[in-house]
Amino acid sequence: MHIHFIVHELFEGPGALKTWAEARGFSTGYSKVYAGEALPLAVEEMDLLVVLGGPQSPSTTTEECSHFDATAEINLIDRCIKAGKAVLGICLGAQLIGEALGAPFEHSPNKEIGCFPITLTEEGKRNRKFSHFGDTLLVGHWHNDMPGLTEDCSIIAYSEGCPRQIIQYQELVYGFQCHMEFNNELMELLIEHSAAELSEFSDHVFVRQPEQLMNNNFKEMNEKLFLFLDELVSNLSK
């Protein structure tokens, strides 16, 4: 099993996703685009493509951010989906999956930064990949936008601040607006990078401050994510 990560920024790395892959003995590859690394040219060798988050949006141009090429990433996602690969998008990555499938991203009703519960929809409760989530689950958030919806997608979970937290686009293609990959190391990097943003939006109902952010326990949501991923990749051999 080979997992390939697209990493847009040092402070939005794979976090607990890397822990999962290493614990299962899977091989991993990275396109750290912030460091000038190229996207993979071929998709044949990868089993799961994971497109991570970042401060960009699908509408960000290369003039605005020289290391982020939304069109190239959307094309890669499209090729992976057509090749029958599993694709998981986190935050920005989820929005790019929507774009690849003809569903433009939208602005979320609320900015969310912190850990807040998501609630499973009835479709989510019936989906075996999420049967271990329970009705609600406390997960991480750090976003302004949300992924678009295709005609045949399913909303798996929503939060009070955002109606699109987890989306099943296809049997092997999922978008997570939420951040279940957060761990302490990743949170420290995000806080360090985002001090001004956190201060500016301190009065927002769904924005938490550094001390609150670091006091969260990410263990349960990481473990729930791992079980989802186990179920996802098990479908690749069926």
HEC letters along 68-121: CCHHHHHHHHHHHHHCCCEEEEECHHHHHHHHHCCCCCEEEEEEEEEEEEEEEC
Q: How far apart are CA 198 and CA 182, in angstroms?
A: 17
H-helix segments, 131-218: 184-193, 195-200, 210-214
Tens of pLDDT, residues 150-165:
999 999 999 999 999 9
Tens of pLDDT, residues 174-195:
999 999 999 999 999 999 999 9
* Beta bridge pairs of residue 85: none
- How confident is the prediction for the chain on average, in pLDDT? 97
| Integer CA distances (angstroms), 152 to 21, 149, 214, in order | 30, 8, 38
pLDDT of amino acid 193: 95
Predicted TM-score (pTM) of the model is 0.97
What domains are there in the chain, each with its CATH number? 2-237 (3.40.50.880)
- Selection from 142, 118, 135, 120 nearest residue 206 by Cα: 142
pLDDT of amino acid 237: 61
Q: How far apart are CA 203 and CA 110, in angstroms?
A: 12
Q: How far apart are CA 67 and CA 229, in angstroms?
A: 28
Q: How far apart are CA 65 and CA 187, in angstroms?
A: 23
Tens of pLDDT, residues 81-125:
999 999 999 999 999 999 999 999 999 999 999 999 999 999 999
pLDDT of amino acid 175: 98
